Structure formats: structure tokens, C-alpha cells
């Protein structure tokens, strides 16, 4: 978190708060964990309502186990084969924007080392790999014909995966907007959504013969809020009005891309990755703040995509709301947009990192221990609550967990990572529990396959199950990778 976060930001800055109203036993457990009076940080307890069985918990046959990365975080080679700058190249070059002054070059050098990485994945037994296509490689200025060299690279990646029996899970956009589009207004402009649809079509035409899970735009909330409101990510803007426009235009881009996907006849499926967080009220009697935070952080994305509506309470000047001007928010919307945005998708991709508390006003509070990423409040049961909330409140849809993970406690290269094993074990258990209770969960992707460029944290947070020495680019599987391999082989997670 940058030190100069504007005063109007939520008091406790959280990268990815997307709150889910906790229900039933989970809510009771959360409240029971709160300190009397509810105004101080509660002491979280292990779930009082559920204990994992002593026997291993099995996953359904065909359950997909994967790992995820994104282009700017792992590829490096930022000027190779015609690639032009994205907003992230520009932002990272700005003094003080990245904690250690680094950039996404060379990151984990995967543009060059992809074949080695695919071997690594095969060695671990991964069934799928989620990665993103870099728009500035495929359309360096964000419009016009495809750059063949860019597409050829991803063709080779996809072929290498398929050869090894690893399902490609392809994200079209993971925040690396071509700088030329930003110069023309970026996500503040409707035009960018139209450009995205054209870009998506080029990708479907080039790679659509492959049986893949396509994902449109990664975490539109994080990109809109952290990049356009908090200013802590590219493009580094601090305007709630622009953030609101970025929400709508990214969602519109999603809907338009889904239309192009259907028209293209591409194989496979398509969905959208949304970051979701379970949140628990400190004061059960004050539901209004909770409802506002829920609207802004959660329903603002789930409702339009899955129901074709926007929640009224998301935008406004009260705590828990996105403080854009309602008139500005209305201006970006045109008739028919919500119909486009809610075009049927084949799965919902859920990215889960943790929980948050909500005080009586609607502000976020701390209710659980954090990882080295201070925004990440860890509570595995929140995953169960979140999945069951989606099942309860939205039309039936297959669910994929496309990101879940934890950074090492230290920025130093390490292969011994018991915290990550414990984190993954407890989260896998909650996933198995949700399946047993009816959640149509089909896949689980660990974030991340490799240590990589963690955005504003640079190389100071290592999220990989495989360690990367950024001097030599040597890869070493951590203990968690070995452990994960065992889970995959057994298709089951043990109690300890
Ligand atoms: C995100 C991303 C990843 C992050 C990861 C850890 O959601 O921010 O998809 O790029 O690196 O979530 O913060």
C-alpha cells in the first residue's frame, strides 16, 4: 500500500475486499469470535461449526487441479517480437510506484522458459494451467491486425500444454492494457470495450481450436478500484468517477467478448474471474453498512454478470460505497448494456484470498490474522461461506476457483513453506466440504505456479509453489509443490 493513499479511501485499505454476507452457522461462528461490544479486533477462532473429518476428503472424479500466473507477472521479454508498452510498463517505471523499484522485466522469464515450465507442471501432475495473453503482444497498440509473432508465441505455449495433457485456462486480460489505449482514455472510455472485443476475437480465431477454459477480464474490481481509484496499481489514477466508468466498461467488454466467443465457434468454455471475499459484521444489528459494502464490493460485479442488474447501493458518498457521482455513473451506461453484460457464461471463476470484518458504518475491520500481504485476512471457512452464498443467491452455474494462495512470510528465496501447506490444506478441505454440500465446484487453481512480480510489491512477495531465483532464473519446487503433487495424485486432501 502506498503511503499517500487519498483520504477518502476506506480506512483500512484492502486490495480485494469483495464481501459475502455470511449466513447461518458461519455468521454465528463469526459473531461468536468477536470481542464483546464488537468494536475491537476480535480474536478469530478456528471454525466452531465444522471440523474436518479424520479421513482424507476425496474430490469428484475429473476434478481439475491447476496453478495460475499472469503475463506481466511472469513473462519478462517486454520488448520481444513487437510487444509495445502496457500501462504496467509505464506505471512501474514511475519513481516510487513499486516497492523495490522493479518492473515486470525480467520477472520469471517465462516468455523464454515456457517449455521448461510446462515440463515442471507435468512433473507436478497439474491438470491445468491458467495464464494470460498479453494484449500488447497481440495488438501492440490495442487495435488493428494481430501481430503474428505474438500469437505464434501463445500457440507454442498452448501446444506444449496440450502435448503434456495439461488443459489451458486462458485469461484474455490481466491488467496489461496497451499504453496506446490508455493514452486514448483507457477504461474511462466506452471505446476500450469495443477494442477489447476485437482483440478477443483475434485470440479466439487463433487459438479457438483448442479445448480451453477462456476467461475474459481478471478481477475487474481490483483493476478499477486499485488502478483507478486508489492509484496503487497501473494506470495510477485516483478518481472514483473513472473507477466507476472502468467497472462498467470492463463488464461491457466482458459481455462483448462472450458474444464474440459464441460467434467464433471456439471450442471450450468462457467465464469471468471475480475476486470475492467473505465478510462478517461486527454488529449484527447494523445491516445497512453491511449492505452498502456488499453492494460495492460484491454485487456490483456478480449481479450484472449473473442477473443483468446493478445494485442501487453501490455508488454514493456513505461509508462502504464507491464515492463516484451518481450522475457520472449513469452517464456511462447505455440501453442494452446490462443485457450484453449478462450474456450467459459457462462458469464463474472465483478468486478467493480471505475475509474481512465490517463495522456498523460499513467500513472494513480486521477479524483474522494476515499473511505477509497485509490486506489478506486468512480464514479458510470463508471460502465455504462464499461458495455457498453464490449457490444460494445466484442462478446455478459451474464454479471454478481460479486463484487462491499465500505469500511466503519472507521476501527471501525459500523452499520450506509450511504456512502455505497449511493454508492450502485447510482451504482444500473447505472446498471439499462445499462440494459435499452441493456447490458445483469443478476446479482449483493455486496462485501461483511461480514466484513472480507481485505488482506494487515488486519481487518482495513470493507467492509461488515453485521458488524462482531471479538472478539465475533457476526454479526449485517448494515443499508445498511436493505436497500439492500428492493431493493431485490422490485427488484427496488429508486431515493433517
Ligand atoms: C490478483 C491477481 C494476481 C495476484 C495475486 C496475489 O488478483 O491480484 O490475479 O495477479 O498476484 O492475487 O496478490
Q: Average pLDDT by consecutive 10-residue portion of the chain (496 residues)?
A: 36 40 35 29 47 96 99 98 98 98 98 98 98 99 98 98 98 99 98 99 98 98 98 98 98 99 98 91 80 90 98 94 96 98 98 91 92 96 97 98 98 98 98 98 99 98 98 98 98 94
Query: Which atom, in ligand 1's list, is nearest to the CA of 275?
Result: 7
Ligand 1 lined by 129 (C-beta under 6 Å): no
How many beta carbons lie within 10 A of that of residue 216, not counting itself? Answer: 27
Report the number of distinct structural domains present in the chain.
1
In a domain, 13, yes or no: no
Report which ligand 1 atom has the smallest distance to the Cα of 219: 7
447 lines ligand 1 (CB under 6 A): yes
Calpha distance 278→389 (Å, rounded): 9
* C-beta of 403 in contact with ligand 1 (< 6 A): yes
With respect to residue 382, please indicate whether it lies within any of the assigned structural domains.
yes
Quick one: which atom of ligand 1 is closest to the CA of 353? 12
Distance of CA 453 from the midpoint of ligand 1 (Å) = 10
Catalytic residues: 219, 403
Using the atom order of ligand 1, give the atom closest to the CA of residue 405: 6
For ligand 1, atom 1: residue with the closest CA: 219
The CB of 463 under 6 Å from ligand 1? The reply is yes
Burial 169-180 (b: 16+ CB within 10 A, else e): bbbbbbbbbbbb
- pLDDT at position 284 is 74
Nearest residue CA, atom 7 of ligand 1?
219
- Best residue among 215, 222, 351, 377 to mutate for probing ligand 1, ranked by most atoms within 8 Å of CB: 351
218: Cβ below 6 Å to ligand 1? yes
Q: Is 102 a member of any domain? A: yes
Classify 267 in phi/psi space as left (phi over 0), alpha (psi -120 to 50) or beta: beta
Answer yes or no: are the C-beta atoms of 109 and 468 closer than 8 Å: no
Residue 60 Cα, ligand 1 centroid: separation in angstroms? 27
Q: State whether the beta carbon of 342 lies less than 6 angstroms from ligand 1.
A: no
The reply to whether 5 falls in a domain is: no
Grid coordinates in use for 68?
495460475
Let me know if residue 6 belongs to a domain: no
What does the pLDDT read at residue 48? Answer: 52
Q: How far apart are CA 179 and CA 177, in angstroms?
A: 6
- Residue 137 half-sphere exposure toward CB, CA atoms < 13 A: 24
In a domain, 51, yes or no: yes
Place of cell 467497472: 247
Atom of ligand 1 minimally distant from the CA of 447? 5
CA distance 30 to 34: 7
Instruction: State in Å: Cα 406 to ligand 1 middle.
Output: 10
Ligand 1 neighbour 225 (Cβ under 6 A): no
Query: Is the minimum distance from the CB of 376 to ligand 1 under 6 angstroms?
Result: no
CA-to-CA separations, 230 to 176, 217, 358, in angstroms, rounded? 17, 19, 20
CA of 275 to the centre of ligand 1 (A): 9
For residue 300, tell me if it sits in a domain.
yes
Flag whether 16 is in a domain.
Answer: no
Give the C-alpha separation, 345 to 362, whole Å: 31
Between the CA of residue 242 and those of 229, 239, 322, what are the distances in Å?
7, 5, 11
Closest ligand 1 atom to 455 CA:
11
How far does residue 228's CA lie from ligand 1's centre (Å)?
17
Domain extent, residue 208, equals 25-493
HSE-up of residue 153 (Cα within 13 Å, Cβ side): 24
335 CA to middle of ligand 1, Å?
Answer: 33
- Mutation choice for ligand 1 from 403, 404, 459, 460, CB with most ligand atoms inside 8 A: 403
* Nearest CA residue ID for atom 5, ligand 1: 447
Closest-CA residue, ligand 1 atom 11, reads: 454
Looking at residue 311, which CATH number applies to its domain? Answer: 3.20.20.80
331 alpha carbon – ligand 1 mean position (Å): 30
Amino acid at each position: 500500500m502506498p503511503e499517500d493513499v487519498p483520504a477518502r479511501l476506506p480506512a483500512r485499505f484492502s486490495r480485494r475486499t469483495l464481501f459475502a454476507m455470511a449466513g447461518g452457522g458461519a455468521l454465528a461462528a463469526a459473531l461468536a469470535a468477536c470481542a464483546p461490544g464488537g468494536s475491537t479486533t476480535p480474536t478469530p477462532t478456528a471454525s466452531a461449526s465444522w471440523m474436518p473429518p479424520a479421513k482424507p476428503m476425496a474430490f469428484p472424479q475429473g476434478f481439475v487441479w491447476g496453478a495460475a500466473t499472469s503475463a506481466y507477472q511472469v513473462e519478462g521479454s517486454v520488448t520481444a517480437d513487437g510487444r509495445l508498452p502496457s500501462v504496467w510498463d509505464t506505471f512501474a517505471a514511475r519513481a516510487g510506484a513499486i516497492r523495490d523499484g522493479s518492473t515486470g522485466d525480467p520477472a520469471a522469464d517465462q516468455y523464454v522458459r515456457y517449455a521448461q515450465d510446462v515440463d515442471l507442471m507435468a512433473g507436478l501432475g497439474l491438470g491445468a494451467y491458467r495464464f494470460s495473453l498479453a494484449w500488447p503482444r497481440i495488438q501492440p497498440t490495442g487495435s488493428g491486425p494481430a501481430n503474428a509473432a505474438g500469437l505464434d508465441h501463445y500457440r507454442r505455449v498452448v501446444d506444449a500444454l496440450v502435448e503434456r495433457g495439461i488443459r489451458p485456462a486462458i485469461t484474455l486480460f490481466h491488467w496489461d492494457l496497451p499504453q496506446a489505449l490508455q493514452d486514448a482514455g483507457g477504461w474511462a472510455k466506452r471505446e476500450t470495450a469495443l477494442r477489447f472485443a476485437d482483440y478477443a476475437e483475434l485470440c479466439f480465431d487463433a487459438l479457438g481450436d483448442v479445448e480451453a477454459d477462456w476467461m475474459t477480464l481478471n478481477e475487474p474490481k481490483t483493476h478499477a478500484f486499485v488502478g483507478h481509484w486508489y492509484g496503487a496499481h497501473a494506470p495510477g489514477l485516483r478518481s472514483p468517477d473513472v473507477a466507476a466508468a472502468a467497472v462498467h466498461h470492463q463488464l461491457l467488454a466482458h459481455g462483448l467478448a462472450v458474444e464474440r466467443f459464441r460467434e467464433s465457434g471456439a471450442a471450450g468454455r468462457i467465464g469471468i474471474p471475480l475476486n470475492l471475499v467473505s465478510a462478517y459484521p461486527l454488529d449484527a444489528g447494523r445491516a445497512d453498512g453491511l449492505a452498502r459494502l456488499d453492494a460495492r464490493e460484491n454485487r456490483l460485479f456478480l449481479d450484472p454478470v449473473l442477473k443483468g442488474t446493478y445494485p442501487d447501493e453501490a455508488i454514493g458518498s456513505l461509508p462502504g460505497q464507491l464515492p463516484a457521482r451518481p450522475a457520472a455513473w449513469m452517464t456511462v451506461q447505455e440501453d442494452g448494456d446490462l443485457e450484453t453484460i449478462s450474456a450467459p457464461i459457462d462458469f464463474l471463476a472465483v478468486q478467493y484470498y480471505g475475509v474481512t470484518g465490517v463495522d456498523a458504518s460499513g467500513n472494513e475491520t480486521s477479524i483474522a490474522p494476515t499473511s505477509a500481504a497485509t490486506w489478506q485476512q486468512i480464514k479458510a471457512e470463508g471460502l465455504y461461506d462464499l461458495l455457498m452464498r453464490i449457490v444460494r443467491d445466484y442462478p446455478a452455474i459451474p464454479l471454478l476457483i481460479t486463484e487462491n494462495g499465500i505469500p511466503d512470510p519472507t521476501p527471501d528465496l525459500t523452499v520450506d513453506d509450511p504456512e502455505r501447506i497449511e493454508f492450502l490444506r485447510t482451504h482444500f478441505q473447505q472446498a471439499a466440504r462445499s462440494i459435499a454440500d452441493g456447490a458445483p465446484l469443478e476446479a482449483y487453481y493455486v496462485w501461483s505456479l511461480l514466484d513472480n512480480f507481485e505488482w506494487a510489491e515488486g519481487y518482495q512477495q513470493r507467492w509461488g509453489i515453485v521458488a524462482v531465483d531471479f538472478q539465475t532464473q533457476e526454479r526449485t519446487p517448494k515443499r508445498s509443490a511436493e505436497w500439492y503433487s500428492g493431493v493431485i495424485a490422490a485427488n484427496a486432501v488429508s486431515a493433517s
